[in-house]
């Protein structure tokens, strides 16, 4: 992997607020050419969160996988890799959490996680933050589509309305629609 130790150190500091020495990074890179960190001082609770982040480095994608102990509020393991697929995710979690310490895990809404977590023996839950974000995004798309259709309908039925009048009518209708949907949703 063509990433400097200094850059890895900065990523870990930025993402987790953890200071890691260059020597720790150098030793970790000896593990199959990937940066893998495991918190071996932690007594695992059985309840975890899994997430991944990605960033382009020198024109290539670098993926950062992390397991977080939700009860102890600390990272369990993390890994930087240039390859991300179901096998990498499954192997990362498999080698980081012994079977006896697997109760439940929370992830975002990616569908491939369901199969992986079931295979690894976890009760799998989806993150409510991501679920809410997804619902709001879908509602916004639907509202925008409806407003576009309504705009064309108004333009055809009221040809004397100016574009400014139409924009004001659409804006008010969109606000009412958002408010109504949020009342239903919340």
Q: Could you tell me if 109 and 97 lie in one domain?
A: yes
Q: How many whole angstroms separate alpha carbon 174 and alpha carbon 146?
A: 9
Total of domains in the chain = 2
- CB of 151 within 8 A of CB of 166? yes
Are 121 and 145 in a shared domain?
no
Sequence length of the chain is: 186
Q: The domain containing residue 166 runs over which residues?
A: 130-185
Asked if 181 and 145 sit in the same domain, the reply is: yes
Q: Which residues contact 173 (CB under 8 A, 6 or more apart)?
A: 147, 150
Are 79 and 135 in the same domain?
no
pLDDT at residue 118, as a whole number: 94
Residue 53 and residue 117 share a domain: yes
Task: Single out the residue in 126, 141, 159 at which a domain terminates.
Answer: 126
Reduced to 3 states (helix: H, G, I; strand: E, B; else coil), residue 5 is helix
pLDDT tens per residue across span 41-94 = 889 999 999 999 888 878 888 888 999 999 999 889 988 888 899 999 999 999
Q: Which residues contact 85 (CB under 8 A, 6 or more apart)?
A: none
Judgement on whether residues 119 and 134 belong to the same structural domain of the protein: no
Residue 141 zone, left/alpha/beta (φ > 0; ψ -120 to 50; rest): alpha
Q: pTM of the predicted model, to two decimals?
A: 0.59
Tens of pLDDT along 1-21? 456 777 777 877 777 677 777
Q: Say yes or no: 41 and 107 in one domain.
A: yes
Domain end point (choices 126, 159, 176): 126
Segment 87-110 shows an average pLDDT of 92
């Amino acid at each position: 992997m063509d990433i400097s130790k200094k850059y890895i150190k900065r990523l870990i500091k930025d993402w987790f607020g953890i200071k890691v020495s260059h020597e720790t990074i150098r030793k970790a890179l000896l593990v199959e050419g990937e940066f893998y960190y495991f918190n071996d001082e932690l007594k695992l609770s059985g309840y975890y969160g899994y997430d991944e982040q990605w960033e382009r480095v020198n024109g290539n994608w670098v993926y950062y996988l992390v397991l977080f102990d939700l009860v102890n509020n600390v990272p369990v393991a993390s890994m930087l890799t240039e390859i991300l697929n179901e096998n990498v995710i499954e192997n990362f979690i498999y080698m980081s959490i012994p079977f006896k310490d697997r109760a439940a895990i929370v992830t975002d809404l990616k569908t491939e996680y369901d199969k992986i977590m079931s295979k690894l023996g976890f009760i799998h839950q989806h993150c409510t933050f991501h679920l809410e974000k997804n619902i709001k995004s879908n509602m916004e798309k639907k509202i925008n589509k409806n407003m576009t259709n309504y705009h064309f309908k108004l333009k055809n039925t009221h040809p004397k309305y100016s574009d400014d009048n139409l924009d004001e009518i659409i804006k008010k209708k969109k606000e009412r629609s958002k408010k109504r949907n949020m009342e239903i949703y919340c």
